[in-house]
Amino acid sequence: MRALLDRGDEVRGIDNLSTGRRENLSEVLKRIDFRQVDILDLDATRQACEGVDYVLHQAAIPSVPKSVLDPLGSNRANADGTLNVLVAARDAKVKRAVYAASSSAYGDTPTLPKHEAMNPNPISPYAVAKLTGEYYMISFYRCYGLETVSLRCWPARLRRRNARDACSTSRPDGAPL
């Protein structure tokens, strides 16, 4: 977001602040159109997409352990939420939607380096929901012509993330998820 503002783009941001914190936006809050919106609220997500050229979809519950404890909640935020974003983006005729997908799609496949031609092998409910989002991205291009891009991100230590929300890629016994 900071990079977009620095290059002169107008930015509208939505977040339900379930794990995100408003303080994290303090540097930029006056320069963006921030709305506290849940992507599970289709009407509000549609309104947020009105007049927008590009959607950068980052919202998620990005936690393997939480998804193991609550697969329904994970699926709602990560799969249903992504579908809502796509419907809203399609209806608002945005030029492109870019999705933060997850390297968890590779599961415990031992092959290195990983590459996109490999068959997905998701293990955790989080991985399945994020991969479902990728398939929806492809489907919305094929069915509706909405240009979509999925970027399979790798785990990163994030300065602003609450420690309690950290993503884990293994079970407590060390087995991969």
Catalytic residues: 126
- Residue list 97-156, contact with ligand NAD (CB under 6 A): 100, 102-103, 130, 153-156
Choices 52-60, 65-73, 90-98, 168-176 (CB under 6 A): range interacting with ligand NAD? 52-60
- Residue list 68-107, contact with ligand NAD (CB under 6 A): 77, 81, 100, 102-103
Q: Which residues of 1-26 are buried (b: 16+ CB within 10 A; e: fewer)?
A: beeeeeeeeeeebbbbeebbeeeebe
Q: Quick one: which H or E segment has residue 147?
A: strand 147-153
What length does the chain have? 177
Give the span between the Cα atoms of 106 and 113, in whole angstroms.
11
When the beta carbons of 8 and 26 are compared against ligand NAD, the nearer one is 26
- Residue list 6-25, contact with ligand NAD (CB under 6 A): 15-20
Q: How many Cβ atoms sit within 10 Å of the Cβ of residue 80? A: 17
- Indicate whether 47 belongs to the interface with ligand NAD (CB under 6 A): no
Residues found near ligand NAD in the complex (CB under 6 A) = 15-20, 38-40, 58-62, 77, 81, 100, 102-103, 130, 153-156, 158, 161, 165, 167
